[in-house]
Structure 1
Amino acid sequence: MGRARLTELRGPGVHPRPLDARALAALAANPGCHRRALLDGAGIDKGALARALGSPAAYGQSQFALVRGTAFEARVKADGGTELLRLVHERLAPGTPAPVPEEVATPDLSAAGPAGRAARTALALREATAAGGWALLDHPMLAVEVAGSPAYVEPDAVVVHPDGSWTVVEIKSFPMIDGSADAAKVGAAARQAAVYVLALEPVARHADARTGRTVRVRDRVLLVCPKDFSNLPTAAAVDVRKQLATTRRQLARLTRVEEIAAALPARTTFDLRLADDGKTATRPPEELAEAVEAVGAAYAPECLAACELAFHCRTRARRDGAVEALGRGVRGELGGLRTIEEVLAAAGPDGAGPADPGGGADPGEEDPAVVALRRAAALRAEALAGAAVPAPRTEEPGCR
């Protein structure tokens, strides 16, 4: 019943769009957004939906960046991954015997469909672990459950060590200059890698039981980037324990997709009714907007860098005067105040705080958010009243 409902939400004949680790990391960062959880869980193309709504988002990598990243990854994995394995050994296993290229296993992971590839990956990991040598898995497929729905993610590589441990490898095209890279980009890569580590954990438990060896997914991943301004690879070990704990906790908080879908009006659908070209949406934007608004959202400015629907949600948040449009930090400081209008009213000398559900006295006198707003408004008024532009001193020469 739940799967059939999700198919209805996509529309007849529309194949589900797969989730990737980048989307899962963004979803875990905002678990309160039922809109994204439902659309991603149902496999709906949010980019196409945003364009049909008239709010396309400039989200995603440019074609140039994709081509550059593909070329760099091919260089890192050339010659059977010799350079990649050298970096893994150098950064994560110093003091142990180095991998011999001719003895490194590189199993074939091809299979029909993502579920078949995930099963083939699990088998290859188990066999490589039992063999007790080095192994390199190029683009393995892993399964992870998100809000009750299976999602398949594909890391750049997973390396099996002779001691039975597994390392996730992330290959990025941004540079690592003098041994360090842009902190924001490294953080995004760490959150993405944490999804892969999370997906590997149940596979490791199964391999442990089947092989009799102690199998461990390392919580330090290898980040491979171009060195300085060249195209030569360098690497750094990145500790993802914090990101792993956060991702595990946030994904566990997500409401099941079937529960969100069941709360929608019976005829709700996100079908774009594509024309014969398979690209042009023929459904009226007003109908689509009504369907989208039927699902609760949790907009924040951070969504602009992580979700295709962010511009649509921002427009609605600004139209409604929602304080969420100012950012999560501001939203948390304002307590029960939900709109900009309420905030401005509370900041006035006779302003009141949020309505008291018990019908008691005006809570504005005790609400710390209201008290802080009034104090800030008073300080602003005082500063503006006493502000005066000083006249230029006659003994000083003017600007030339």
Structure 2
Amino acid sequence: MSTTHDLRERLAELRGPAVRPRPLDARALAALAANPGCRRRALLDAAGIDKGAVARVLGDPAPFGQSQFAFVRGHAFEARVKADGCAELIRLLGGTPEDGRVLVPELSAAGPAGRVARTRLALEEATAARSWTLLDHPMLALEVASSPAYLEPDAVAVRPDGSWTVVEIKSFPILDGSADSVKVGAAARQAAVYVLALERLAAQAGTARVSHDVLLVCPKDFSNFPTAELVDVRKQLSVTRRQLARLTRIEEIAATLPDGTTFDLRYADDGSTPTRPAPEMLAAVEAVPAAYAPECLAACELAFHCRDRARACGAVESLGRGTRGELGSLTTVEQVLAAALGTAGDPADPAVDALRRAARLRAAAVGEV
């Protein structure tokens, strides 16, 4: 499995020969970057497998995705931000076009590949023009596991100095100058994927510079009035690069699977109803190690299944990455409790010593000693 062709064939076998792959998008790549140690998600996403359908077959569907209300509100806010020829958006970027207008090129084309080519041409023309230009929903491409992932940022701004800036428009509010750190972090990881795709495009063009400061546009307080903050995504960009490099070696993960492993959902004639027996799918899923953390609940369709399995075996990962990091060599809740009670564990281990001190303090607090 040393060639790109061999890898594609292997991923097709895992997915099912008659199943079309689900394309990777920026949200999926950002979620991978948020949990780079999860081999299960890396393999299933690289193979284009519908994780939501897999979760339904396993009996652990996740209420994953955006509500209709949030979807409508988000679109209304984006339209407000881009009204009047995107003049408000350019103001948020700190610009004041001298001629009073912003160039917004037409980016429509046939198919994703055609839109990528049209976006590339528009960026080159805007860079050469040295005027404020706003690309509304451009299409970018990024090679992931030997296949193109098509990405669609909310906007890309080209400044008069020729630099490119990614614009992310979100409907969560900035209250009193600050926003939910979890949501901002997710937006930054998603934007970093766009920045990476732009960097590779700029390297080919050789005439542009991509800003590592992404413009995050959100409603101000409880109004529909837009406000913005520049978010430095260099850290998220570094993580994304490492994770994508890992994905290019996805064949190493696939090579560890037992012969005959497949995630084929075996759709019925209607094309939407999986018929794969749950025990067969469970065996396939469990053949790939996962790295569950509570943060997965907001980013992965298989999170409920992985959480149940982590709890069933008493894995401390179900308590969070921070707790897992503090416990060192103690990998199960049973080991943690035994160490705290003094019935197991090396007293010289800092984690064991801290647990025993905590147990003594608790006993004193509740009057058990």
Q: TM-score by structure 1 length?
A: 0.84
Q: Which amino acid aligns with 1:4?
A: E
Q: Which amino acid aligns with 2:53?
A: A
**Alpha-carbon contact 1:99-1:134 (below 8 Å) kept:** no
Question: What is the match of residue 361 of structure 1?
Answer: none
**Alpha-carbon contact 2:268-2:274 (below 8 Å) kept:** yes
**Percentage of matched positions with identical amino acids:** 74
Question: What is the match of residue 294 of structure 1?
Answer: 287
1:138-153 alignment runs, 5 A limit: 138-153=136-151
Q: Secondary structure at the match of 2:301?
A: coil
Alpha carbons of structure 1 residues 106 and 347: separation in structure 2 relative to 1, 3 Å: same
2:264 equivalent to 1:271: yes
Tell me the distance in 2 between the aligned counterparts of 1:261 and 1:305: 26
Greater Cα radius of gyration, structure 1 or 2:
1
Q: TM-score by structure 2 length?
A: 0.91
Question: What is the match of residue 284 of structure 1?
Answer: 277
Question: What is the match of residue 135 of structure 2?
Answer: 137
Question: What is the match of residue 38 of structure 1?
Answer: 43
Tell me the distance in 1 between the aligned counterparts of 2:164 and 2:353: 54
Question: What is the match of residue 170 of structure 2?
Answer: 172
1:339-358 alignment runs, 5 A limit: 339-351=332-344, 353=345
Q: Which amino acid aligns with 1:295?
A: V
1:209-248 alignment runs, 5 A limit: 213=207, 215-248=208-241
**Alpha-carbon contact 2:215-2:231 (below 8 Å) kept:** yes
| Structure 1 residues without counterparts, runs of 5 or longer | 354-363, 388-400
- Cα deviation digits, residues 252-296 of structure 1 (max 9, x gap): 445622221222122111111122232222111111111100111
| Structure 2 residues without counterparts, runs of 5 or longer | 1-5
Tell me the distance in 1 between the aligned counterparts of 2:88 and 2:113: 30
Alpha carbons of structure 1 residues 54 and 98: separation in structure 2 relative to 1, 3 Å: farther
- Cα deviation digits, residues 378-397 of structure 1 (max 9, x gap): 3334444457xxxxxxxxxx
Tell me the distance in 1 between the aligned counterparts of 2:10 and 2:18: 14
Q: Which amino acid aligns with 2:60?
A: S
Question: What is the match of residue 310 of structure 1?
Answer: 303
Greater shift, 111-120 or 328-337, is seen at 111-120
**Alpha-carbon contact 1:31-1:251 (below 8 Å) kept:** no
Q: Secondary structure at the match of 1:337?
A: coil
Per the TM alignment, residue 226 of structure 1 is displaced from its structure 2 partner at its CA by 2.5
**Alpha-carbon contact 1:29-1:250 (below 8 Å) kept:** no
2:348 equivalent to 1:366: yes
- Cα deviation digits, residues 130-177 of structure 1 (max 9, x gap): 222222211111122445543221100101112110111111112234
Q: Which amino acid aligns with 1:29?
A: A
Q: What is the count of residue pairs matched by the alignment?
A: 364
Per the TM alignment, residue 75 of structure 1 is displaced from its structure 2 partner at its CA by 2.8
Tell me the distance in 1 between the aligned counterparts of 2:261 and 2:248: 19
Q: Secondary structure at the match of 1:297?
A: coil
Alpha carbons of structure 1 residues 227 and 332: separation in structure 2 relative to 1, 3 Å: closer
Alignment match of 1:82 (pick from 77, 87, 99): 87
2:106 equivalent to 1:108: yes
Tell me the distance in 2 between the aligned counterparts of 1:99 and 1:13: 55
Alignment match of 2:11 (pick from 6, 10, 13): 6
Greater shift, 148-157 or 227-236, is seen at 227-236
Question: What is the match of residue 360 of structure 2?
Answer: 378
- Cα deviation digits, residues 274-332 of structure 1 (max 9, x gap): 22232222111111111100111000111111111000000111111111111111111
